[in-house]
Structure 1
Amino acid sequence: MDPFDWLPHAPLEPVQLDWLRGVELAVLRLDLIDPLISGNKWFKLSGHLALARRAGASGLISLGGAYSNHLHALAAAGQRFGFATVGLLRGHPQDTPTVLDLKAFGMQLHWLGYGGYRARHEPGFWEPWHAHYPHLHAVPEGGGGLTGALGCGVLVEQARTQLNALGWADYDAWWLAAGTGTTLAGLVLAEAGAHPVYGALAVPDDHGVARTVQSIVAQGYELLDASRGGFAKVDPLLLAFIDATQQQCGLPLEPLYTGKALLALKQQIEAGRFAPGTRLIFIHTGGLQGRRGFNP
């Protein structure tokens, strides 16, 4: 199959939760688009694949951690669609469930240590990798940047085509987790001011999400801290919320992104930010494979 013949479609599903207080919530279920190439990752990758094809590249090289949803989707796509993939990983060699999948999918792995990974934003970082893999197209961490954002614009149209099935004539805003800010920026571009986009920051300020978003869009969004003390920081309240949500409405969440984002929405509603009758679309950005890094 040619990857350009595959455009997955995410269902938009209403959810009922006891803390909504009259706010209407629908979830765009990107976690359901595919068992392996899940979440928002494919939409961010699609533009990079187009650039790679135009450049005559035979595959993609990118970066991530030992539980990276981005690398997991990239490697799975490479295996399915027949293009080479290389992953540059943070830290030192370890066989996490995600890493074992990357190897099984045929991704070539290089471990950079922690200092080497921190250098990914420095000038010249990519030069030795371009020399080593001249036939590969480099993708920023998480599929970020304008190219990745543009690929996410299709999500707005996917949601709008399903509003009638919910009995909605319109919606008031978007709510989603922000890990790199790429998907958020793509929604803002596609909305062109029609509806605001709220991003619940799953990472601390020093990860540069605000700068990334500002480099793509100037307005039409708001970022709120939902990191709960840092990237991958998990606490009993968050874990209890994730469990209660799944028990109440069947929506599976993970603690790095979607769990933090939905808990932040709950707190904002309880603080009176959104009036009863407000209609919000929450994007489930996938990442459920990363739950394997957390003990029950």
Structure 2
Amino acid sequence: MLTFDFYSPEEEISHPLYRQKKVQVFIKRDDLIHPYLSGNKWRKLKYPLQEARRQGKQRLITFGGAWSNHLLATACAGAKFGFQTFGFVRGEAVENPVLKLCSLFGMRLLFVDRTGYRDKRGLFDQHFADDHEAFFIDEGGYSTLAAKGCSEMISELEKSYDHICCASGTGATAAGLLQGIQQAQLTTQLQVVPVLKGGQFIQKAIADLGVSLDHRLTLQLDYHFGGYAKTTPELIAFVKAFTQRTGILIEPTYTGKLCFALHDMLQKDLIDPGQRILLVHTGGLTGLLGMLNKFDD
């Protein structure tokens, strides 16, 4: 079985807004799992890696953008567990620190134009149809096995929570958390913040992974800031202020939008006093490397 020991604590956050609104806020520090397999990345890769090993596969084939934390995590996991890795990169050929790290871990990269990139199964079949040792991993790790890995977070929790809040890109993490809540028969409300424009698709993405939609799921659709990896001066200022006040590093693509959403909901009194809230830190901090210029004063 492919696994490794990790510790992901629940850390209480002190903030004047939380005291004012009389709520307790904790953060699940999945960013501490591993420098490159951090956040939800290990959770989403754990069972696909086990399945690849069970099937006798030698090569992991996956997909992502030029700053993809998923590509980097897969490259690292391949090196750690003895798989070769290959990444299809969306868009024109570029060099950046994340892709250099992928290469350092041994991942081979192929840049694909955005039109061709849309058909990921087609790309896999075009290049690896005759390679019986190749194993397909979708963009962001999206799969039922990824959701299964993410569902295990619920059984790890040391406290009970009225709300669990997570950012969402593909929907796999949200699906897993909802599945875990359902399996534990909790009344916890899952607040999901899609980071892409038109995030209503997350409901279908969750259902497509075999997880039943119910009243415990709420999508907060107003915090995408223009779309994936898009930012505004307001969001950048929030990320800076939150990091400086709490000592917890967040980034504008995922966890920054999540934390902003919670603060906005509290300021609008959309969460009742006396609630205990858990934020899920999904890692992805290497993505900051491509955004540091946005933080210039």
Task: Give yes or no for TM over 0.5.
Answer: yes
- State whether structure 2 residue 222 is matched by structure 1 residue 229: no
Moved more, 281-290 or 132-141: 132-141
Query: Contact conserved, 1:60 with 1:137, CA < 8 A, in 2?
Result: yes
Q: How many residues align?
A: 284
Matching residue within 272, 275, 289 for 1:275: 272
The AA in structure 2 aligned to 1:251 is I
Distance 2:44 2:131 in 1: 22
Distance 1:66 1:258 in 2: 19
Determine helix, strand or coil for the equivalent of 1:26.
strand
Distance 2:198 2:130 in 1: 33
- State whether structure 2 residue 189 is matched by structure 1 residue 189: no
- State whether structure 2 residue 257 is matched by structure 1 residue 264: no
Matching residue within 13, 16, 31 for 1:15: 13
Q: Which 5+ residue runs of structure 1 have no aligned equivalent?
A: 164-169
The AA in structure 1 aligned to 2:166 is L
Cα 1:268–1:7, aligned 2, differ >3 Å: closer, same or farther? Answer: same
Determine helix, strand or coil for the equivalent of 1:37.
coil
Determine helix, strand or coil for the equivalent of 2:167.
strand
1:37 — aligned with what?
Answer: 37
- State whether structure 2 residue 171 is matched by structure 1 residue 175: no
Matching residue within 192, 203, 225 for 1:199: 192
Residue deviations 1:91-145, cap 9 Å, x none?
Answer: 011111111111111001111111111233xx74432133254311101110112
Query: Contact conserved, 1:46 with 1:151, CA < 8 A, in 2?
Result: yes
Query: Contact conserved, 1:9 with 1:158, CA < 8 A, in 2?
Result: no
Identity of aligned residues (%): 35
The AA in structure 1 aligned to 2:175 is A
TM-score, with normalisation over the residues of structure 2?
Answer: 0.91
Query: Contact conserved, 1:228 with 1:234, CA < 8 A, in 2?
Result: yes
Determine helix, strand or coil for the equivalent of 1:280.
strand
Query: Contact conserved, 1:145 with 1:212, CA < 8 A, in 2?
Result: no
Matching residue within 226, 243, 246 for 1:246: 243
User: What value does the CA root-mean-square deviation take over the aligned residues?
Assistant: 1.6
Matching residue within 286, 289, 293 for 1:292: 289
Query: Contact conserved, 1:254 with 1:291, CA < 8 A, in 2?
Result: yes
Cα 1:239–1:106, aligned 2, differ >3 Å: closer, same or farther? Answer: same
The AA in structure 2 aligned to 1:90 is R
The AA in structure 1 aligned to 2:38 is S
Q: Which 5+ residue runs of structure 2 have no aligned equivalent?
A: none
Distance 1:27 1:239 in 2: 20
**1:206 Cα shift?**
6.6
Cα 1:289–1:132, aligned 2, differ >3 Å: closer, same or farther? Answer: farther
- State whether structure 2 residue 114 is matched by structure 1 residue 114: yes
Matching residue within 2, 5, 15 for 1:4: 2
Moved more, 123-132 or 282-291: 123-132
2:138 — aligned with what?
Answer: 140
**1:81 Cα shift?**
2.1
Distance 1:72 1:153 in 2: 22
Query: Contact conserved, 2:171 with 2:202, CA < 8 A, in 1?
Result: yes
Query: Contact conserved, 2:61 with 2:124, CA < 8 A, in 1?
Result: no
Cα 1:145–1:207, aligned 2, differ >3 Å: closer, same or farther? Answer: farther
